[in-house]
Structure 1
Amino acid sequence: MSQAMDKKVVWITGASSGIGLALTKRYLEDGWRVLASARKSGELEDLLEAFDSLTFVPFDMTDDSQIEAVHDTLSSYSAHLDCAVLNAGTCEYLDINEPDWKMMDRIMSVNFFGLVNSVEVCLPLLKKASSPHLVGVSSQAVQAAFPQAEAYGASKAAIRYFLSSLRMNLKQFNVDVTCLLPGFVDTPLTQKNTFSMPFLMSPDDAAKRMFNALESRPFEYAFPKRLTAMLWAGRHFPKLWLSMLAPKTK
């Protein structure tokens, strides 16, 4: 069997920047065959030139009509997937003074329904692997409420529940399911934030933590732990959390 056939195969969505790009690098450096998806190749271009084991598969995960074609494309490169890391997402904030309620649809379309579409793409290929692993990226934002994060937080909470339930259904097929809950990571999305982001980490640091944690296939992995502890306090002392974070009365 050739060296290429020996490689484990991972599919990563949202791979053209931020955490997805850093995860792509991490898997390549560990010797995996990486199928990377995003709407455009973006910052993947340099990696595509440097690694024969990297393939770009365009995918707009909000477009249901692409599901079958993307599945077929992935199948043409590999008969199975050992792992799928569904990472793609976006963020917008609600301005309660001038609310754009349609923004809720946009965020859910990408973060939640886009992930569901991605599961539809990859699940048949995961089932063909000997020890498959399905990974979805939620957020520490689900641990306690944040102002203006109604859409983002709700979409990430939906991902968390969806994966928890899916884990039960997929046990019969030997598919392990992990939900990742990262804290604040320095990406093009978070660089637009105008508020303080405690324990901000680089994409490479986040990817290293994720990659190492996924080796043991936990049900959930939330990091960094200092932020987890802070949000635990916010969740269990909601009145104090509200007084700290809510905009002051005019």
Structure 2
Amino acid sequence: MSEAPTSTSAGKRLISLVIPCYNEAGNIEALVQEAFDLLPRDLLGEVIVVDDHSRDDSVARLLELRDREPRLRVLRHLSNAGQSASVRTGVMAARHPLIATLDGDGQNPPGDIPALVAAYDPAGPQLVGGVRAKRRDTWSKRTASKLANALRRRLLGDDCPDTGCGLKVFERDRHLALPFFHGQHRYLPALFKAHGASTAYVPIGDRARQHGASNYTNWKRGLQGVPDMLGVRWLMSRARPVHSEELE
């Protein structure tokens, strides 16, 4: 059962920051520390890192940091389950009803989270996504992303300019009410809209990966993308938002 929204003197709602992590030992500790350093205490309620059964020492580094920062929670999958499952695990464990997500590679600056929270509204938009203004990826990855985004917008009509950006803010309960499947995190704007929520997008920064290599390739994304988009389109065609009220 989700908790009631947490209010502060500044009128903000505390967020649970969920970070999926897989083999990011060179990036994850600095990223989490940056989030604690930059985000005010009346905004950041907790950081939940979900380690997707990494083969490196990501968990060891996180546990060292947790000894110094009690707002850090570390969850670990007992087997590799994928990024969507990692996000869902973190959202399910969250203690606050407003969620921010951030990829574990450190490319999206945590300091941009307040701008997304400021754009969020319980009456809508209920999902706010980041749009990477100046991407630091390779030319081939940027080109593939543009083509995939154009195809997805045409097929799904979600109006999302950058679905691959991991920085998003949304309501915990709305997320958990969505149909879950492997790869779900790439289609959250379309799924939110199909279930009656509105969306908005805010420009954010983008940084080059400092350590390690991406867990995705253009070829791998392409193989997964087409059947996923067709499946999401079918789910959207079957969605029927239902609104109700309690009678006194």
Superposed pair shares fold, TM > 0.5: no
Higher relative contact order (Cα pairs below 8 Å, separated by 6+ residues) = 2
Query: Normalised by the size of structure 2, how large is the TM-score?
Result: 0.40
Q: Compare the two structures and name the one with the higher helix fraction.
A: 1
Larger radius of gyration: 1
